[in-house]
Chain A
Amino acid sequence: MRPVYMVSGGISKFAKARPDRTFQALAKEAFDYAMNDVPELTLEMIDASVSSYFSDHFQRQLMSGIMATDYLGLCPKPARRVEGGGATGGLCFQSAWEMIASGRSEICAAYGFETMSHVNTWKGNEFIALASDVSFDYPVGGFYTGYYAMMVVRHMQEYGTTVEQLAAVSVKNHCNAFHNPYAQKRMRLTIEDVRNAPMVAWPLTRLDVCVMSDGAACCILASEEMAKKLTDKPVFIRGVGTGTDAMRMADRPHLKVPLLPNEKEEDYKDLKYPGVHSFRAGRMASKQAYEHAGITDPLKEIDFIELHDAYTSSEIQTYEDMGLCKYGEGGEFVMSGKPFLKNIDYGIEFPDKSQVGLCPVNPSGGLIACGHPVGATGLMQAAFAFWQLQETTEKHLGDKTIQIPDARVGAIHSHAGTGTYVTVSILEKGF
């Protein structure tokens, strides 16, 4: 397989509702932003595309993918739609990677969108819950926040994770988003604010949970030859990994942990894995991506991560899946300050200031604050990571607060409920 680069990214402003645009025109906003950022690139030069959106229900429209493809002027070139729940955007990114890596395409556009405002929030929750077994799970009380709440209750039981540790993730991500004009929710919060918000599914409150959004995002990927022609700031896609797990949470096995290079079997002597407390798909995706990229100590070798924090709990569980800390240490990891940005005052006292910002997680604000227009989300993460590695955050956000100085390697992580598909891609400064 040949090397693949990312040459541009674009995002529409995520909002609760964008009734002024149909999904095709939203995709066009993100696509045009990405095109305009690489003036050398013309529509004719793009020889393939991949579209992504999660649910046909939200638009009440089948084959929305091709409708966006034709609107963007990409017919009659090869295109497909990919779908995999919350990981739809991450899968789309990797599908475009495969197009280039295999030699089928020289320049491939990956774009995703979701218009969730077309139904009310509770109907939207119903649509999302249809992504659970409709014979055994949905009829019992299908509600994704409820499913994730059961997972974190088990995490709390196994490891002693606390609700304050979950809340700290919300404080971090909302506070980071304060400096990101693309984000839907830009708030300065305290741990108490998060705990005092209305309970959604015990122990998760409204501020532990992401919101529904309308939005689109686009990434343009290219072969090495084309990337070097198009931009002097390309980003190399150094590794990709994808993992899966059973749809019914009840079906998750209780086996052994697939180990990362920085772990030993005796670390997890008595742990039954993944159960419902961990995401085996996240671990598999990380393991594959790290092997592909030659990463052996993720915390030391990755400068920042944009990961799928649809719930504060899943961010903590994902620290462990990605090997930033051992299983069971996710709660302590957040309170150590390692995933926070050094230069922002979050109103939280960290025990050892030298540890703060060791590996910032969700500097953009993540899904919790940016919003989660499902098909766009994984591509939004890629665009933010791309701008970090290009060091162009200030140019695109009009604010350099969340720019991580000298970032060389970033990871993006996209996750489908309740950990069924997970993708991890490793991005590296390519100049």
Chain B
Amino acid sequence: MARKENPNPEVEAKMEETEEGTVLFNVPFPKDLSQLKEMSPILIKQPYQIDYLHSYGQDSPFFAGLANKKLLSTKCPKCGYTYGTPKFHCMMCGAECDWFELPQEARIHTFTVCHFGSQEFLPQCPFILIQVEWDDVDTLFLSRLVGPDPNEATLDWVGRKIRAKFLRLSKFKPTDVYFVFAD
């Protein structure tokens, strides 16, 4: 059989590794204890799984807002600093902030396309992350942009007008809201 030329010699062909091991109950052992320092390391699998009862605490109204198709954030009544992502206490002056509703039309401040990601998000790759900006709002909001071809990323996306959309079946996560191009 003709051997195929490796198209990318930098990347050696190899079988994908998986994490299933073989159940093993014993290993070979030398008679002479001085040989133990040459022994290969023993690797075992240690599973680790936890269900947290994570509280959104003082930020809970934000998530209740998403479930009701409202984008909420906070504003400082003392110094006027306005947040794009809620902070219950103002990081500028320390005062307790008040809730307000953000406009659902906004602009892209910056973005990226994730072609890889953390294990939890790998099945969703490629996906687009954006920082959302509003006029007269001092800070930004991290969200996803849905619609454009992730392989056609261009700097021209920065500054584009976007519009919020909400999941019909709320998951009470920040991804209950996402954005699409509005221009």
Contact = CB atoms under 8 A, between A and B. Distances in A.
B142 A200 contact: no
B160 to A, nearest CB: 12
Interface string B112-128: 11111111111010010
Interface string A57-88: 00010000000000000000000000000000
Interface residues of B, number: 49
B105 interface: no
A251 B111 contact: no
Interface in A98-146: 120, 122-123, 125-126, 128-129, 134-137, 139-143, 145-146
Contact of B129 (A135, A146, A154): A146
Nearest to A57: B48
Contact of A120 (B19, B43, B112, B153): B19
B48 to A, nearest CB: 6
A144 to B, nearest CB: 9
A150 B54 CA distance: 27
B153 to A, nearest CB: 4
Given A20-B41, A139-B173, A250-B131, A120 B119 contact: yes
B94 to A, nearest CB: 14
Contacts of B118: 122-123, 125-126, 128-129, 142-143
B139 A60 contact: no
B101 interface: no
Interface in A133-170: 134-137, 139-143, 145-146, 149-151, 153-154, 156-157
A140 B143 contact: yes
Contact of B112 (A135, A149, A250): A149
Contacts of B87: 251
A60 B155 contact: no
Given A157-B158, A251-B85, A136 B116 contact: no
B110 A141 contact: no
B142 A135 contact: no
A275 to B, nearest CB: 8
B64 interface: no
Contact of A141 (B19, B124, B138, B139): B124
Contact of A122 (B43, B109, B119, B174): B119
Contacts of A145: 114, 116
Contacts of A201: 112-116
A154 B121 CA distance: 24
Contact of A252 (B46, B139, B173): B139
Given A122-B122, A154-B109, A156-B155, A139 B115 contact: no
B170 interface: no
Interface in A351-367: none
A140 B131 CA distance: 11
Contacts of A39: none
Contacts of B119: 120, 122-123, 125-126
A246 interface: yes
Name the residue in B91, B92, B116 with the highest tally of chain A Cβ atoms < 10 Å from its Cβ. Answer: B116
Given A251-B91, A251-B139, A202 B84 contact: no
Interface in A240-254: 246, 248-254
B117 A135 contact: no
Given A157-B158, A248-B85, A140 B117 contact: no
Interface in B59-86: 59, 83-85
Given A60-B48, A157-B158, A141 B144 contact: yes
A198 interface: yes
A366 to B, nearest CB: 21
Contact of A254 (B127, B138, B175): B138
A116 to B, nearest CB: 14
B171 to A, nearest CB: 9
B114 A136 contact: no
A120 to B, nearest CB: 7
A199 interface: yes
17 contacts: A20-B40, A122-B117, A126-B118, A134-B54, A136-B174, A140-B142, A140-B143, A140-B144, A140-B174, A141-B121, A199-B113, A201-B112, A201-B116, A249-B140, A251-B85, A251-B87, A254-B138
The 3 A-B residue pairs with the shortest CB-CB distance in the complex, in nearest-first order: A149-B112, A126-B118, A250-B140
Given A120-B19, A199-B115, 17 more contacts: A19-B43, A20-B41, A60-B48, A122-B117, A125-B117, A136-B174, A139-B173, A139-B174, A140-B129, A150-B110, A150-B112, A153-B158, A193-B10, A201-B116, A250-B85, A250-B142, A253-B92
Interface of B: 10, 19, 40-41, 43, 46, 48, 54, 56, 59, 83-85, 87, 91-92, 109-122, 124, 127, 129-131, 138-144, 153, 155, 158-159, 173-175
